[in-house]
């Protein structure tokens, strides 16, 4: 019988005062894959000119919110937590700390470019940040010499799976038979690659074969993620002068313009009606405590802190737990108004920042750098004599795969390592590597780019 505390590699013993879940949390916290997130884009690149959130600060806030929701549930809904087999704050914090490990440099633009490059080369699984996170946890991260990955418990691995399915598979089809010819469903988001199918099966051993429902702990982590970036992206770009919260708080016409533009897009939220969504956003803007552009005075800084604290607290306390899923497969009962507020706060960043012209120019350059790096590394991995231009850990991965297979590497294996190489860089490392390999700025022989 499988247990939540089981590890796939049983040669590790939980010793000392820590619980198995605390050991999982600490393994992620002290891993270089986690530290890398300090140099990875959240929305804009963390170049130091503005104090924006990066992927690391975002992750830490997600972990804090997720842990608070779990603690709240255990205090207020103890029976439901017990009926669900446990809602452990450490398991959920572990999942939150791990959820963005696979996020590549430059943000979501890199996910799209890497996926396109791999699919164009014939790799059905493509690239997805969530699947890459699972690959890092189970294959690429290093904890012990005699095992691959971080050897997390079954519960922690399962809690990281926001999307417990392959990119393409039959609905309800067994993972073990995922390669059998069948009419297949293609997902926009997926949680693991075929190369990690055994690790996925281990994590999901308590679920029926073909069951793709998310665990309650994964759902809590996912909701904490939504709360965190809806609030802190709004905060970041208000401070930077890009989201005019003061103007929105006092100008109904400006609010209506955003509402109309958002409603003209495909709405990816369950609402009673678009009228409800529009009215909720107007009330939200009307309740904002701001009256003008951000000035870093003590009063405004305190006001902004109060805004983030009040709204996060409201969203945490407005979430309830049920002991069985609803029609949408959710164990969480979230007030409709809260869901709509979170949705519209995220749309503020989309409206004022993501679709702006200045970001489009930056992303054009980033796409070019990524395409070039992928082509160079793909050519290099085809000839062992050219492996030297890859970072050491990725050369090690190629050597490991070659030993495991006992023959020449397949193109799929090589290209997966190419994706690992690029995805494992910070924004700055990717830029420096692009400059060096294209001769734009070769640097010195003594310069080192350690990734």
Task: Decide which of 324, 357, 390 is a domain's last residue.
Answer: 357
Backbone phi and psi for residue 105, each to the nearest 5 degrees, phi listed first:
-65, 150
Domain check: are 100 and 183 in the same one? yes
Domain check: are 27 and 148 in the same one? yes
Enclosing domain of residue 403: 366-438
Q: Confirm whether 173 is domain-assigned.
A: yes
Place of tokens 């937590």: 81
Per residue in 123-160, pLDDT (tens digit) is 888 999 999 999 999 999 988 887 889 999 999 999 99
Backbone phi and psi for residue 334, each to the nearest 5 degrees, phi listed first:
-110, 130
Domain check: are 53 and 192 in the same one? yes
CA of residue 266 relative to chain centroid, distance: 22
pLDDT in tens, the chain (451 residues): 678 999 998 766 666 789 999 999 999 999 999 999 999 988 766 665 666 788 999 999 999 999 999 999 999 999 999 999 999 999 999 999 999 999 999 988 999 999 999 999 998 889 999 999 999 999 999 888 878 899 999 999 999 999 999 988 765 555 555 555 556 678 889 999 999 999 999 999 988 888 889 999 999 999 999 999 999 989 988 888 888 888 888 888 888 888 888 777 765 555 556 778 788 888 888 888 888 888 889 998 899 899 999 999 999 999 999 988 888 889 999 988 899 899 889 888 888 887 766 677 788 899 999 999 999 999 999 998 899 999 999 999 998 888 887 777 889 999 999 999 999 999 999 999 999 999 887 666 556 666 6
Task: Decide which of 308, 337, 357 is a domain's last residue.
Answer: 357
Our CA dihedral for 209, 215, 219, 225, rounded to 10 degrees, sits at -90
Q: Confirm whether 59 is domain-assigned.
A: yes
Q: Confirm whether 10 is domain-assigned.
A: no
Q: Confirm whether 7 is domain-assigned.
A: no
Domain check: are 257 and 323 in the same one? yes
Domain check: are 184 and 241 in the same one? no
Q: Confirm whether 321 is domain-assigned.
A: yes
Domain check: are 52 and 186 in the same one? yes
Domain check: are 325 and 424 in the same one? no
Q: Confirm whether 334 is domain-assigned.
A: yes
Closest CA to 99 of 59, 141, 140: 59
Domain check: are 278 and 412 in the same one? no
Domain check: are 197 and 249 in the same one? no
Place of tokens 């809590």: 220
Q: Give the number of other CB atoms < 10 A from CB of residue 402.
A: 14
Domain check: are 46 and 64 in the same one? yes
Domain check: are 413 and 328 in the same one? no
Backbone phi and psi for residue 41, each to the nearest 5 degrees, phi listed first:
-60, 135
Residue 142 sits in a domain whose CATH number is 1.10.3210.10
What are residue 169's DSSP bridge partners? 185
Domain check: are 345 and 421 in the same one? no
Place of tokens 């010195």: 444
- What's the number of domains the chain is made of? 3
Task: Decide which of 145, 169, 203 is a domain's last residue.
Answer: 203
Burial class from Cβ neighbours inside 10 Å (0-12, 13-18, 19+) for residue 105 reads buried
Q: Confirm whether 299 is domain-assigned.
A: yes
| 7 DSSP 8-state letter | B
Q: Confirm whether 213 is domain-assigned.
A: no
């Amino acid at each position: 019988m499988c247990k939540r505390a089981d590890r796939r590699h049983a040669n590790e013993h939980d010793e000392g005062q820590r619980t198995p879940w605390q050991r999982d949390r600490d393994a992620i916290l002290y891993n270089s894959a986690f530290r890398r997130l300090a140099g990875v884009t959240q929305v804009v690149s963390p170049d130091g000119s503005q104090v924006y959130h990066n992927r690391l600060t975002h992750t830490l806030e997600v972990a804090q919110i997720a842990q608070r929701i779990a603690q709240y549930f255990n205090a207020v809904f103890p029976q439901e937590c017990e009926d669900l087999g446990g809602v452990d704050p450490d398991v959920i914090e572990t999942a939150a700390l791990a959820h963005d490990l696979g996020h590549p440099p430059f943000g979501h633009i890199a996910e799209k470019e890497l996926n396109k490059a791999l699919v164009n080369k014939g790799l059905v699984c493509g690239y997805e940040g969530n699947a890459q996170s699972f690959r890092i946890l189970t294959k690429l991260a290093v904890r012990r010499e005699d095992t691959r990955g971080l050897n997390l418990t079954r519960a922690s691995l399962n809690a990281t799976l926001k999307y417990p399915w392959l990119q393409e598979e039959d609905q309800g089809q067994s993972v073990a038979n995922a390669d059998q010819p069948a009419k297949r469903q293609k997902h926009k988001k997926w949680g693991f690659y075929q190369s990690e199918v055994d690790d996925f099966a281990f994590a999901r051993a308590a679920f029926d074969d073909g069951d793709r429902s998310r665990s309650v702990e994964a759902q809590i982590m996912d909701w904490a993620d939504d709360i965190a970036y809806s609030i802190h992206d709004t905060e970041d770009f208000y401070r930077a002068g890009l989201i005019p919260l003061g103007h929105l708080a006092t100008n109904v016409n400006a609010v209506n313009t955003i509402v109309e533009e958002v409603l003209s897009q495909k709405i990816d939220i369950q609402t009673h009606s678009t009228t409800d969504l529009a009215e909720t956003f107007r009330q939200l803007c009307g309740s904002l405590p701001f009256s003008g552009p951000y000035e870093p005075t003590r009063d405004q800084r305190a006001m902004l802190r109060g805004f983030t604290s009040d709204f996060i607290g409201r969203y945490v306390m407005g979430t309830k737990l049920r002991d069985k899923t609803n029609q949408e497969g959710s164990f969480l009962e979230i007030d409709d108004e809260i869901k709509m507020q979170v949705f519209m706060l995220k749309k503020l960043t989309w409206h004022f920042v993501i679709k702006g012209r200045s970001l489009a120019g930056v992303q054009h350059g980033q796409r070019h750098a990524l395409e070039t790096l992928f082509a160079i590394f793909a050519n290099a991995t085809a000839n062992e004599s050219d492996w030297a231009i890859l970072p050491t850990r990725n050369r090690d991965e190629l050597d490991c795969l070659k030993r495991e297979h006992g023959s020449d590497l397949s193109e799929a294996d090589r290209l997966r390592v190419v994706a690992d190489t690029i995805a494992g860089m910070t924004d700055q490392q990717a830029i420096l590597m692009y400059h060096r390999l294209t001769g734009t700025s070769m640097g010195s022989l003594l310069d080192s780019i350690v990734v």
